[in-house]
Chain A
Amino acid sequence: MGRPAAVLSAAVLILGFAFGPAAVSARAAATPRDALTLVRQALAALEVTPPDIAVATERVIKALFARDTRGVDMPRVREAAQALGEEDTEAAAAYLMAALRSGQTSSGGFDMSLWRPVQPRVTGTPGAYALLAAAALLIAAGGLVARR
Chain B
Amino acid sequence: MNPSSRARGLWAALDARLALHNFLYEVPAYANTLPYVLGAVTLAGLVILVGSGILLGQFYAPDPGVANQSIRIIIAQVPLGEVIRGIHVWAAHLTIVILLLHAVRVYATGAYRFPREANWAVGVALLATMLALFFTGTVLRWDQQGIEALEHNIAFAGLLGVFGGWFSPAFSSHVPILTRLYMAHVSLLPLVLFILLVTHVYLVRQHGFSPYLTSPAAAEARYTFAHHLKKAAGYGCIMLGVALALAIILPPGEGAAPVSGIEVTKPAWLFLPLYGLENLLGLQGLWGAVVFFLWLLAVPILDRDRTPGWQGRRRALAAGGTVLVVLIGLAVYAKVWSPVAHLH
Contact = CB atoms under 8 A, between A and B. Distances in A.
Contact of B343 (A18, A28, A131): A28
B320 interface: no
B259 A41 contact: yes
B321 interface: no
Contact of B161 (A18, A27, A114, A138): A18
Interface residues of B, number: 54
Interface stretch (A44-52, A81-89, A101-109): A44-52
Interface stretch (B8-16, B182-190, B209-217, B236-244): B236-244
A50 to B, nearest CB: 9
B171 to A, nearest CB: 12
B161 A16 contact: yes
Contact of A115 (B163, B256, B261): B256
A146 B256 CA distance: 41
B19 to A, nearest CB: 25
B251 A122 contact: yes
Interface stretch (B67-75, B132-140, B295-303, B325-333): B67-75
Contact of B69 (A30, A52, A111, A117): A111
Contacts of A119: 253
How many interface residues does chain A have, given as a range?
35 or more
Interface in A10-66: 15-21, 23-24, 27-28, 30-32, 37, 40-41, 43-45, 47-48, 52, 55, 59
B143 interface: yes
A37 B259 CA distance: 8
Contacts of B245: 132, 135-136, 139
Interface string A107-148: 000010011111111100000100110111111111111111
Interface in B173-232: 230-231
A48 B158 CA distance: 27
B312 interface: no
A52 B252 CA distance: 21
Given A17-B159, A31-B261, A114-B72, A47 B251 contact: no
B71 to A, nearest CB: 8
B155 interface: yes
Given A37-B259, A139-B241, A118 B155 contact: no
A23 B256 contact: no
Contact of B250 (A40, A120, A134): A120
B281 interface: no
Given A24-B283, A131-B83, A138-B240, A145 B233 contact: yes
Given A45-B262, A48-B144, A135-B241, A24 B248 contact: no
Given A48-B144, A118-B254, A41 B158 contact: no
B115 interface: no
Contact of A117 (B143, B168, B283): B143
Contacts of A24: 155, 158-159, 283, 343
A135 B154 contact: no
Nearest to B254: A118
B155 A27 contact: yes
B248 A139 contact: no
B242 A135 contact: yes
Contacts of A134: 241, 244
A19 B161 contact: yes
A14 to B, nearest CB: 9
B72 A118 contact: yes
Contact of A137 (B236, B241, B262, B338): B241
A109 B53 CA distance: 32
B264 A27 contact: no
B256 A44 contact: yes
Contact of A41 (B242, B261, B343): B261
Contacts of B241: 134-140, 142
Contact of A146 (B231, B244, B251, B255): B231
B49 to A, nearest CB: 16
B161 A20 contact: yes
Interface string B127-164: 00000000000000001100000000011001111111
Interface of A: 15-21, 23-24, 27-28, 30-32, 37, 40-41, 43-45, 47-48, 52, 55, 59, 111, 114-122, 128, 131-132, 134-148
16 contacts: A24-B283, A48-B264, A55-B341, A117-B254, A117-B255, A118-B72, A120-B250, A135-B248, A136-B245, A138-B238, A138-B240, A138-B241, A139-B238, A142-B237, A145-B234, A146-B235
